[in-house]
Amino acid sequence: MSGLDDVIAAETSLSEVDGLNGQLVIRGYRLEELAGRRSFEAVLALLLAEVLDGGEAAIRTALGAARRTVFAEVERIDAALLELSPVEALRALMARLPGGEDAGTALRLVAAPAVFLPALVRRRRGEAAIAPDPALGQAADMLAMLKGRRPSGAETAALDAYLVTVSDHGLNASTFAARVVASTRAGYASAVLAALGALKGPLHGGAPGPVLDMLDAVGTPERAAGWLAAELARGERLMGFGHRIYRVRDPRVDALKQALARLGAAGDGDAGRLALAETVEREALALLRRAKPGRALETNVEFYTALLLEALGFPREAFTGVFAAGRVGGWIAHAHEQVEKGRLIRPQSRYVGPRAA
């Protein structure tokens, strides 16, 4: 059954994914002009220009205040929530936020993953949650709430580059889910929850944790080729490779690889881990080329996401939630665009079941 590959289901002025040329353009800027060069707040100002007032500085201030507001919900984290995976607990906490189609709702939703995820990680470890510092930018504050210390400039720059890199990406599965829900006028919170539900699957934003599981299982560079070949022979998919749209290298891979290199140059990286990952990447690409000659399978964004978020100290089970922290602004921008310019999304199905007598 089709995955709607060739269906154009929306018109958007937010981002364009050019899968043949390996280019991602966000509001007229190539990703290379944004990641590592413009702050997450500056990119939110681009994506959410019709939803939020003011530019980068105003959004930074408003988002800081929103982080403080949503932190009140952290007190309500209980034992039942801590038994869920972090992304499921994040989903439950975000479901408690009020809905609407206004700037305040949007700011709270953008602030929420950055506040809830570090709190969940710490509480799962038996540590107290740390309150946000509204004076910081979103990336620095998210790391401060995770680590309990002011992050280094290199750490902040790396997370900021990551959040920008994943901020929007055409009509991916979670964004489509957000637009479907927004088209019913259910409000931004419901649209974001639908998107988060879609994001957590391993074929979408749930892949980076398994990428690290794969690196751990491989263990050393010399075992890479044999381990990967055995995995493919068993019919398994190699996590962090392949993409529905890109037929050449995903441009986000290089943006993240550069952020990782800068982190390593600042002494915050793990050279051994990176060397293992590069060997696994090289061997996996060679094997995939041989196994699926008709299909251009390349490294996808999740491969270097895993390494970057690990180097920043996020536990692997929290990676999908960090992805959500970067993508949530894009989801809301699409929800807004759908409400303003679209109609109720209601495709048709072809009935293939038994006919009535």
Out of 24, 44, 253, 301, name the contact with ligand ACO by CB under 6 A: 301
- Binding of ligand ACO at residue 244 (CB under 6 A)? yes
Minimal distance, residue 145 CB to ligand ACO, in Å = 24
- Binding of ligand ACO at residue 321 (CB under 6 A)? no
| Rounded Cα gap, residues 17 and 1, in angstroms | 23
Site string for ligand ACO, 2-21 (x = CB under 6 A): -x------------------
Cβ nearer to ligand ACO, comparing 141 with 250: 250
Cβ nearer to ligand ACO, comparing 118 with 210: 210
Out of 300, 304, 330, 334, name the contact with ligand ACO by CB under 6 A: 300
Out of 129, 207, 277, 280, name the contact with ligand ACO by CB under 6 A: 207
| Rounded Cα gap, residues 70 and 96, in angstroms | 10
Spatial contact of 179 and 344, defined as CB atoms under 8 Å apart:
no
Residue 216 to residues 210, 227, 303, 315, Cα–Cα distance (Å): 10, 11, 14, 14
Cβ nearer to ligand ACO, comparing 89 with 199: 199
Minimal distance, residue 304 CB to ligand ACO, in Å = 11
Q: 103-106 long-range contacts, Cβ below 8 Å, gap at least 24?
A: 103/51, 103/52, 103/53, 103/62, 104/66, 105/187, 105/188, 105/189, 106/48, 106/51, 106/52, 106/188, 106/332, 106/336
Minimal distance, residue 210 CB to ligand ACO, in Å = 8
User: Which residue type is seen at 122?
Assistant: R
Angle at which helices 86-94 and 103-124 cross, to 10°: 140
Cβ nearer to ligand ACO, comparing 137 with 330: 330
- Binding of ligand ACO at residue 242 (CB under 6 A)? yes
| Residue positions annotated with a catalytic role | 243, 302
Out of 7, 203, 230, 233, name the contact with ligand ACO by CB under 6 A: 203
Minimal distance, residue 146 CB to ligand ACO, in Å = 22
Out of 238, 311, 318, 328, name the contact with ligand ACO by CB under 6 A: 238
Which residues face 246 on adjacent strands? Answer: none
Angle at which helices 103-124 and 319-341 cross, to 10°: 170
Which residues face 30 on adjacent strands? Answer: 25
- Non-local CB neighbours of 188 within 8 Å, separated by 6+ positions: 99, 100, 101, 105, 106, 109, 182, 332, 335, 336
Of 179-187, 215-223, 242-250, 309-317: span binding ligand ACO (CB under 6 A): 242-250
Of 11-19, 177-185, 297-305, 312-320: span binding ligand ACO (CB under 6 A): 297-305
Neighbouring C-beta atoms of residue 222, cutoff 10 Å: 9
Residue nearest to ligand ACO as judged by C-beta position: 242
- Binding of ligand ACO at residue 292 (CB under 6 A)? yes
Minimal distance, residue 291 CB to ligand ACO, in Å = 7
Cβ nearer to ligand ACO, comparing 110 with 207: 207
Please name the helix (run of DSSP H) or strand (run of DSSP E) that holds residue 69, with its range, or none: helix 56-71
Out of 60, 108, 243, 327, name the contact with ligand ACO by CB under 6 A: 243
Alpha helices by DSSP H, 266-318: 271-291, 301-311
Minimal distance, residue 240 CB to ligand ACO, in Å = 5
Binding site for ligand ACO (CB under 6 A): 3, 203-205, 207, 237-244, 292, 295, 297, 300-302
